Amino acid sequence: MATTYTAARDVTRAPEDLANLIDGRWVPAQAGGVVEHRDPATGAVVARVPESTPADVELAVEAARRAFRTWRLTPAPRRAEVLFRAAEILTRRKEELARRMTEDMGKVLEESRGEVQEGIDMVYYMAGEGRRLLGQTMPAELPNKFAMVVRDPVGVVAAITPWNFPFSIPTWKLCPALVAGNTVVFKPSTDAPRLARDFIEILIEAGLPAGVVNIVYGAAPAVGDALVRHPDVNVVSFTGSTAVGKQVAAAAGSLMKRVSVELGGKNAVIVLGDADLDLAVEAIAWGAFGTTGQRCTATSRVIVERSVQAELERRLVERAAALRVGPGLEPGVQVGPVIHAGALAKIAQHVEAARAEGARLLCGGSRVTDPALTGGHFFAPTIFTDVTPGMRLAREEVFGPVLAVMPVDSLDEAVDIVNGVAYGLSGSIFTRDVNRAFRAIRDVAVGILYINAGTTGAEIQTPFGGTRETGNGHREAGTAGIEAFTELKAVYVDYSGRLQRAQIDLDLS
């Protein structure tokens, strides 16, 4: 069975001209530069994006700093009402936003709808935190004294987001920051620029005051670095590559800023000999080739017991061959393009390195050259086997539709391989043995673990993040998503009418 390719229909639209948002006004970049953004499936220009400079960052931070003075004093339930209204608008506009997302970054329409829904869920969830923002109370050690902990907003947040989840990841950052009373300067990726504009327009329609969120488009060296180093930015929340994340963390840390970085992954599925192979194959194919492998939680490695290796590989190759590749807006397409030509070149380099190091190619392995897909950036779903732990394909993030199969003889060996890479985001195990499942829960060193499911599919009410070089310990989503954007303040209320000295004036008799 051969992979099927589907051409795009000829749909011509005028490109959209985007603008920065500074203090409630949509304005061009001060230097006047723009860059073109192209649909990765067709090559058509869909937007012209401001090419901002540090001067634009300066204006945006000033606006956010001014707005913080009043936004922080707005009662949290009132701040939350803006999010609730925005969620209702987003729900009505879900299909429109999903289609725009597919044009912007290529994921198939079904996945785009799912991402918009995830964003809607996050907006609703974090709006609910406006009536919680939980602190603590605890007994004081002295009489007639009360002790509690409250949460304060930190200040101005720099939110720097990637192209692969251009709607949901901004909601992960902006919603908890806003409901906690912070203001934001938002730098979205120029590789998927329009959803950021749409989301902020909807927040404004829902009642967000001017200056509370500001958008500055532009390249990371000019805009991102200026944001990270700006003295009036208090929190940096970044999602992107590990290499850039290390630079962000080092720069922000040297300035004593709070910094949260969510970075790469090299996620593995363990398949034991007693696994339901039909279920495992579906989960692995979805995890490896969904979003064309362009997720931090994508399934990159399959670590399989040798007793079922051959059968699992046969089924995976058959499943990969049945996938329909093409533009994400076309009905029936399951695998869209990668984001740009540079991504294609990087994936090809990983494939050639795998061949050179002795991995055996089972399917795919090349750019799609079908005439139906001229103009787009398509790479065939690819599977290698006999991959060993020292190979680049077993250790480095590919960010494309490439899967490495690694045979093992035991669960202990599989766990060692899972944990033997720099990343620790997501993992999975397929087994019918509850004892071995619980051993995996105990021993697999990742931030997210699935039992009899793939490596993707996190829900918004649970914390998202990983260990080792996947991040610096902060988590997004769930109640933990508030942590990076709030300061804890211990408060003591002494109503004794006299000075009581803690640890000194204790009567222990």
| Residues carrying an active site annotation | 262, 296
Three-state secondary structure call for residue 181: coil
For residue 233, count other CB atoms closer than 10 A to its CB: 24
In the beta sheet, which residues pair with residue 136?
149
Residue 496: partners with Cβ closer than 8 Å, 6 or more residues away? 142, 143, 144, 145
Pairwise CA distance, residues 49 & 35, whole Å: 5
Alpha-carbon torsion, ordered 441, 291, 89, 80, to 10 deg: 30
Pairwise CA distance, residues 47 & 329, whole Å: 18
Pairwise CA distance, residues 435 & 441, whole Å: 10
Nearest C-alpha neighbor of 197 from the set 33, 51, 26:
26
For residue 110, count other CB atoms closer than 10 A to its CB: 13
Question: What is the DSSP pairing of strand 20-22 with strand 25-27?
Answer: antiparallel
Burial of 338 (0-12, 13-18, 19+ CB in 10 A): buried
Tokens of 78: 């009132």
In the beta sheet, which residues pair with residue 363?
383
- Transcribe 93-143 into DSSP letters: THHHHHHHHHHHH---HHHHHHHHHHHHHHHHHHHHGGGT---EEEE-SST
CB distance 382 to 352 below 8 Å: no
Pairwise CA distance, residues 235 & 154, whole Å: 7
Backbone angles phi, psi at 284, to 5 degrees: -65, -45
E strand residue ranges, 263-359: 267-271, 299-305, 324-325
For residue 73, count other CB atoms closer than 10 A to its CB: 9
Three-state secondary structure call for residue 475: coil
Nearest C-alpha neighbor of 322 from the set 330, 332, 307, 337:
332
Exposure letters 161-176 (e unless 16+ CB within 10 A, then b)? bbbbbbbbbbbbbbbb
Length of the chain: 509
